[in-house]
Amino acid sequence: MPFSIDQFRLDGKVAIVTGAGGRGNSIGRAYATGLAAAGAAIVVADINLAGAQAIADEIIAAGGRAIAAGVDITQDDQVAAMAAAAQDAFGGVDILVNNAALMLELGQLNVAEVPFDQWDKIMAVNVTGALRCAQAVIPSMRARGGGRIINQVSGGAFPAVSIYGVSKLALTGLTTTMAKQLGRDGITANAIAPGNVTSEAGAKLVPEGSPFAQYLAMSVCTRASGAPDELVGALLLLCSQAGAWITGQTLHVDGGWVLRP
């Protein structure tokens, strides 16, 4: 098939974006509004239902289609209800963006001291939650002839030097496993690893002028930070027909912080 710019369009597709109703100018909001601008109907999912509804209302006001779903991705019944809401509203699911995660909430956890209840909670949200959401929508993707799963990982996993990084490295491994086991169903699985993003949460995690911000400024190839919207192009590639032959990959969007051959 000759290439057409229309291959980046998502008209007729249905996407779930978890963690899309969070703080301010979040990555989840950028993902949800970006997919909607490309033509997809969006399930804006978040544990904060009011925040999810605000993003859904923003999409609808711009002429798109969206519903909000309140969901704790550690709870089977709530994840099943999210998938059912997508089915009822839009007829199924084609795209899952596993963006929900614990990050800012973690603080500086030391491996020598981290309580195992906290460790279990981090893994339950950042890793098992992504798997739980995937399991909930894979039957719909299979019935619709295929789908796209995009897991949000982090440049901080390459290498992992924090508990958060460990969870995201585990999610990277889950991504390649999904790609291998679901590929024959027409389902691709990829990951996006952002660098330092100037979302509200990112600005709190890496304040301007902090030692880590200064380190990034000296070490990255281009810019040390980027806006949430600068991740959307990578997401559209991985969600659309334009990226149909890409699976099992981690796409680093970080200005050249993590360099991998």
At 91, is the secondary structure helix, strand, or coil? coil
Mean pLDDT, range 148-173, rounded to an integer: 96
Contact 106, 204 (CB under 8 A): no
Does residue 261 sit within a domain? no
Of 188, 187, 207, nearest in space to 196 by CA: 207
215 is annotated as an active-site residue: no
What is the pLDDT, as a whole number, of residue 66? 98
44 strand-pairing partners: 17, 68
In the predicted model, what is the mean pLDDT of the chain? Answer: 95
Report pLDDT for 107: 66
116: Cβ contacts below 8 Å, ≥ 6 apart: none
Is 166 within the bounds of a domain? Answer: yes
Question: What's residue 208's pLDDT?
Answer: 82
Task: Flag whether 248 is in a domain.
Answer: yes
**Nearest to residue 159, comparing CAs of 169, 151, 167, 150?**
169
Number of domains into which the chain is organized? 1
Cα separation, 165 vs 184, whole angstroms: 30
- Grade residue 130 by pLDDT with cuts at 50, 70 and 90: very high
With respect to residue 259, please indicate whether it lies within any of the assigned structural domains: no
Residues above pLDDT 70, as percent of the chain:
98
What pLDDT was estimated at residue 125?
97
pLDDT for 217 = 87
Report pLDDT digits (tens) over 210-259: 888 898 889 999 999 999 999 999 999 999 999 999 999 999 999 999 99
Q: What pLDDT is attached to residue 53?
A: 97
Amino acid code (one letter) for 70: G
Residue 180 has pLDDT above 70, yes or no: yes
H or E segment at 44?
A: strand 41-46
Return the SS3 of 21: coil
Average pLDDT of the residues in 178-194? 98
Q: Does 82 reside within a domain?
A: yes
Q: At residue 69, does pLDDT exceed 80? A: yes
Residue 14 in 3-state DSSP? strand
Residue 23 lies in a domain: yes
Task: Count each helix (H run) and each strand (E run) in the chain, helices first.
Answer: 9, 7
How far are the Cα atoms of 82, 197, 259 from residue 219, in angstroms, in the given order?
41, 16, 11
Q: Kindly report, residue by residue over 84-121, the tens digit of the pLDDT.
A: 999 999 999 999 999 999 986 676 788 999 999 999 99
Task: Give the range of the structural domain holding residue 39, as residue numbers without chain letter.
Answer: 5-253
**Domain contains 245:** yes
48: pLDDT confidence band, cut at 50, 70 and 90?
Answer: very high
- pLDDT of 15 higher than 70: yes
Domain CATH for 134 = 3.40.50.720
pLDDT higher than threshold 80 for residue 156: yes
C-alpha span between 21 and 53 (Å, rounded)? 7
164, 189, 196, 199: which one is catalytic? 164
